[in-house]
Amino acid sequence: MSKDLSVNGPPAPDYNQALDAGWLPIREVARITGVNAVTLRAWERRYGLIVPHRTAKGHRMFSDTHIQRIQQILTWLNRGVSVSQVMPLLDAAPAWHAPVDNDWQAWRQTLTLAITELSERRLDDNFNQVMSLYPAHTLCEQLLIPLLNELEQRWQGQFGAQLERVFFNSWLRSKLGARIYHNNRSLKGKPVLLINHSALPFEAQLWLTAWLVSSSHCPVEVFDGPLPGGELALAVERLNCPAVVLYSSQTLNPRQLPKLLGGTNCPVLIAGPTVCIHSAELAVSTTEIAGLSLAVDPLEAHQRLSQLGLF
């Protein structure tokens, strides 16, 4: 996209040459991302999270890839991760690549446009069309999970982001909830219990997990809020659940898991970005708490539940 501004190789161009080559100055990056210049410099100096290129006179210049990285940092910070803990999470994540032009990218662009225009009918019609062509697992893997990731980055620091988020989440809860309800009516057996263990009122990927499980001919029960210690065991007892999924995209205290899961006599799966946030502590918990396993995303959660022989 732009010329190399690094100190290695040919001399770095001046400020105006860098602008002409497509690089962005720090004030423009601050405007785009909502992160002020002082914070961006601190991320660079203290933590090495962002390493901008420099002109011959030392001006910081940023590329589209830098913007993507800043948006990823914001995503983790919004999940309650401290800035000092973000670097290994970024390094562990797959590198961002420009999306490949294909049918799935076209579908995601169509849905994104409907979301930005708050067009529920167009969003619904397009999703119904693609849902009639592909099974739930393929839709999650190729369409919905990438779409959620793209939207999350789009919404970082953008005016109107919360409006779009509330609109889309309301539609998605209604859409998946209706499918799950329809599936549950035709299924027999005890339900897998899925619990939103975040402080957030809606976790899209929890509902994707519920939809995947439900589409595998296994009934589900979704609790859209956390349960205190003791009441989780009560819910498992009353529902006679074969498994529980605790989903969180935010921080949690792994030390509280024994109390929370006390009396729970079925396998428990902890899922969501919190698994990355607390990877070391939760890995220890799986060795100390019988029946506890981990999954990062809905596809992995579905696989773990399948390994339990639930469908």
**Domain-ending residue, one of 120, 155, 186:** 186
Q: Do 194 and 310 belong to one domain? A: yes
Q: Do 287 and 199 belong to one domain? A: yes
Say what the pLDDT of residue 174 is: 97
d(C-alpha 165, C-alpha 270), whole Å: 25
d(C-alpha 153, C-alpha 166), whole Å: 15
Say what the pLDDT of residue 158 is: 83
pLDDT in tens, the chain (311 residues): 444 444 344 445 677 877 888 889 999 998 888 888 998 999 999 999 999 998 888 889 999 999 999 999 988 988 888 888 899 998 775 554 445 457 899 999 999 999 999 999 999 999 999 998 899 998 999 999 999 999 999 998 788 999 999 999 999 999 999 999 999 999 999 999 999 999 999 999 999 999 999 999 999 999 999 998 889 999 999 999 999 999 999 999 999 999 999 999 999 999 999 999 999 999 999 999 999 999 999 999 999 999 999 98
Pairing of strands 24-25, 60-62: antiparallel
The answer to whether position 256 is within a domain reads: yes
d(C-alpha 18, C-alpha 8), whole Å: 16
Say what the pLDDT of residue 107 is: 95
CATH value at residue 253: 3.40.50.280
Q: Do 296 and 227 belong to one domain? A: yes
The answer to whether position 168 is within a domain reads: yes
The answer to whether position 124 is within a domain reads: yes
The answer to whether position 5 is within a domain reads: no
**Domain-ending residue, one of 91, 113, 135:** 91
**Domain-ending residue, one of 158, 186, 214:** 186
The answer to whether position 38 is within a domain reads: yes
Q: Do 35 and 85 belong to one domain? A: yes
DSSP 83: G
Structural domain boundaries, residue 48: 15-91
d(C-alpha 179, C-alpha 187), whole Å: 13
| Overall domain count for the chain | 3
The answer to whether position 4 is within a domain reads: no
The answer to whether position 41 is within a domain reads: yes
Q: What is the dihedral of CA 86, 90, 92, 98, to 10 degrees?
A: 170
Say what the pLDDT of residue 16 is: 81
Task: Yes or no: say if 90 and 49 are a contact pair by the CB < 8 Å rule.
Answer: yes
Angle of CA points 43, 47, 50, to nearest 5°:
50
Helix pair 204-215, 298-307: axis angle to 10 deg: 40
The answer to whether position 139 is within a domain reads: yes
Beta strands in 86-243 (DSSP E): 192-196, 220-223
Q: Do 109 and 201 belong to one domain? A: no
Identify any residues that bridge with 263 across adjacent strands, giving them in sequence order: none
Q: Do 182 and 211 belong to one domain? A: no
